[in-house]
Amino acid sequence: MTSESSITSPAGTIRPALTEPDKSRWNIAGIEALFALPFLDLMFRAQEVHRAHFKAGEVQRSTLLSIKTGGCSEDCGYCSQSAHHHTGLPREALMPPDKVLEHARAAKESGSSRFCMGAAGRSPKEKDLAAVIEMVSEIKKLGLETCVTLGMLDEEQARRLAEAGLDYYNHNIDTAPEYYGEVVTTHTLQDRLDTIEKVRKAGISVCSGGIVGMGEGQAGRAGLIAQLANMEPPPESVPINKLIAFPGTPFAGSESIDPFDFARTIAVARITMPTSFVRLSAGREQMSDELQALCFMAGANSIFYGERLLTTGNADTDADMRLFARLGLVPI
Ligand code: SAM
Ligand code: DTB
Ligand code: SF4
């Protein structure tokens, strides 16, 4: 529950004063009120919260690699890797550990602090999990943090990953509870929450966020953020992805989200999850430098760094470092 009262902003306009939540519970109305703030007020609030919890300007970098691509049994409407859609994406078996390690070394060299490995699929097969466990322990030796995203896990699988030293497990809730069934039908939001719970119990940090730009509207974005912010505790890492409208997927024709609404989503994530890293994730390649700068202003303090995401391109690393220099951002 948020506490609200009316105060006069320095500019003289009346705006709701939304304090940080009591006992870390946020209700939808409180989150919608944040979205409804005048843009500059919202940005100001997000900066205040950001600076109270993080060093301003420091941005963490994670490099992503698809270690098993395509042919997925699930029907997530945004995903190029679902076998339900006709995206023409070639299916690739699990990448051998030595090749994954080569990519991890290159990521370390480029300055990334975390190496994230993504595998398509509803849940990992035993043979693949054993290989991923080997990858995690080898990559840890390079001095990189590790993150994997392998779909749904059972308790034993989560325990084994934790034992290998896995730092983060990525499992996005993707959209608001009310909108989930419009996006995926082969599993439920509750399935995703159950896996997150098992990951948390195993002692692995949680990376969970969502996608905006799938026609969810502001109410949908508020629902997504409420679900994340009310986790106890909220995910340590919160990726906010801008839909990459992949040809052949049901969401290919989605209308692009207004850039200011995208920045608003980042700001609301920052305010409601003050101690989480908020990652400006998919979609950066299509964003202007100015929109990215606004997102950093809004409290984003992490990016995917490297030429590729999973099946699509990412912003160029040289361009990223030029942008960091122009903005005085400090890569960590
Ligand atoms: N199969 C695993 C899973 O579903 O968790 C891991 C891979 S899945 C591709 C990881 C996340 O990537 C999704 O949950 C979604 O948030 C994001 N993603 C996938 N396709 C995307 C797209 N076209 N645009 C933006 N984000 C996307
Ligand atoms: C996340 O939230 N975004 C990443 C990562 N976690 C696994 C994936 C983005 C995928 C973008 C579309 C693609 O490259 O296939
Ligand atoms: Fe499969 Fe994950 Fe893509 Fe859904 S998001 S279709 S589970 S790879």
- Closest to 146 (Cα-Cα) out of 87, 97, 74, 209: 97
End-to-end Cα separation, the chain, in angstroms? 34
Task: DSSP letter for 143, please.
Answer: T
- Tens digits of per-residue pLDDT, 245-284? 999 999 999 999 999 999 999 999 999 999 999 999 999 9
| Six-digit token string for 289 | 């430098």
Round to whole Å and give the CA distance between 232 and 21.
13
Return the number of other C-beta atoms located less than 10 Å from residue 241's C-beta.
22
Confirm if 289 and 244 have CB atoms less than 8 A apart.
no
Q: Which residues face 14 on adjacent strands?
A: 8
What residue has token string 């849940």?
A: 123
Crossing angle, helix 126-141 and helix 97-110, to 10 degrees? 40
User: How far apart, in whole angstroms, are the C-alpha atoms of residue 85 and residue 253?
Assistant: 14
Q: Considering the entire predicted model, what is its pTM?
A: 0.94
How confident is the model at residue 9, as a pLDDT?
36
The pLDDT, as a whole number, for residue 208 is: 98
Does 310 contact ligand 1 (Cβ within 6 A)?
A: yes
Output the six-digit token pair for 67: 């270690």
Ligand 3 atom closest to residue 119's alpha carbon, by position in its atom list: 8
State which ligand 1 atom lies nearest to the alpha carbon of 171. Answer: 5
Mutational test site, ligand 1, from 81, 84, 149, max ligand atoms within 8 Å of CB = 149
Question: Where do we find the tokens 């590729």?
Answer: 308
Burial degree of 218 (CB within 10 A; 0-12, 13-18, 19+):
middle
Beta carbon of 63 within 6 Å of any ligand 2 atom: no
Q: What is the mean pLDDT of the chain?
A: 94
User: Distance (Å, rounded) from C-alpha 18 to C-alpha 259?
Assistant: 24
> Among residues of the chain, what percentage have pLDDT more than 70?
93
* Cα 48 from Cα 54, distance rounded (Å): 10
For residues 32 and 277, what is the distance between their CA atoms, to the nearest angstrom? Answer: 21
